Structure 1
């Protein structure tokens, strides 16, 4: 495995070259290469600290005969699947072409796992109290998109201890006042 000091230039270049051979349209989305078929995202690639990866936006439908695909966030991620590489020697062009061809086929067929509407979420008591304490805070929260509001509420609801909830509220308060989402830095 490469150290964090290394970059993934060689691996990213090899993967991008393989994707450029396809009929997919390359775009830059969220600062990274994303390959699309008729506007539908099919596959993207990026380097991270410990690996470089391809991700298939509708990877849940891929047959994955070589068992290389991962669900990076079990219980959260529904359709997306990642294929991680830690060395350039792991990049097998024929194997990758096969997976990408299957993903393109699924895109042409219109296979898509539709998002399930989220159920009603419960605003935690600590957040309700913060709203009562500061009209500015409540107003800033109300101006966030519903998705950003949900991220913050879920973040607070996932904490078990009151002390953790309090520290999380202290962390997110300036972000909310600035109109930022919890996960904006990753988008």
Structure 2
């Protein structure tokens, strides 16, 4: 179950409680507004995402939504999904001692200014059509499903195909297929609930 607020999120990640609390206190010294999006603390200015905090198995961290625009003079940021992620950058902390509040705040303030100035990383649109064999077979064998699928834009259709293709194991592909069938039938795009 997704947390309703940041306190709940931190309580679900007690292993990183001190790091998360410190990062939160640094962010809360700025003008950013605190929210929960995608089940994690996300901070916005003028309703635009700027930075988030998160806890993972091996680290706690910040992610900057347009981190590729940051100067990163201290060389703290990484692209967590090289080749996939264009704009977002992470800053990982393995211990609370690695968190340098003044430096963290300077990065956050730069990110806020970038957002206020409307600076964003432009992401090239994918031109190719992606086809998942598993989804194609399902669409071929279920006319009602195909009719529902055909209502979606090409971009949304590609999202469904890509979601299936990204899975490496056949069992995972089948699980994902079973997850998206009701979404397709109800006219819900794969990422619609996150875009609200």
Q: Does the pair score TM above 0.5?
A: yes
Distance 1:89 1:183, change over 3 A: farther
Matched, 1:62 2:62: no
Contact map agreement 1:172 1:182 (CA 8 A) in 2: no
Query: Gapped runs of 5+ residues in structure 2?
Result: 1-12
CA distance in 1, matches of 2:155, 2:175: 19
Distance 1:76 1:37, change over 3 A: same
Calculate the TM-score normalised by the size of structure 1.
0.78
Query: What residue in structure 1 maps to residue 95 of structure 2?
Result: 87
CA distance in 1, matches of 2:33, 2:166: 39
State the Cα deviation string for residues 50-76 of structure 1 (Å, max 9, x = none).
111111111001111111101111111
Contact map agreement 1:127 1:169 (CA 8 A) in 2: no
Show the 5 A alignment for 1:56-135. 56-135=64-143
Contact map agreement 1:123 1:153 (CA 8 A) in 2: yes
Contact map agreement 1:28 1:34 (CA 8 A) in 2: yes
CA distance in 2, matches of 1:159, 1:175: 13
Bigger CA drift: 12-21 or 133-142?
133-142
Corresponding residue to 2:159 among 151, 166, 180: 151
Aligned residues: 179
Matched, 1:41 2:49: yes
User: What is the Cα deviation at residue 48 of structure 1?
Assistant: 1.4
Calculate the TM-score normalised by the size of structure 2.
0.75
User: What is the Cα deviation at residue 6 of structure 1?
Assistant: 5.7
Contact map agreement 2:164 2:177 (CA 8 A) in 1: no
Q: What is the alpha-carbon root mean square deviation over aligned residues?
A: 3.1
Show the 5 A alignment for 1:19-30. 19-30=27-38
Query: Gapped runs of 5+ residues in structure 1?
Result: none
Q: After the TM superposition, which parts of structure 1 deviate over 4 Å for at least 4 consecutive aligned residues?
A: 139-148, 155-160, 166-169, 180-184
User: What is the Cα deviation at residue 10 of structure 1?
Assistant: 0.8
CA distance in 2, matches of 1:52, 1:124: 35
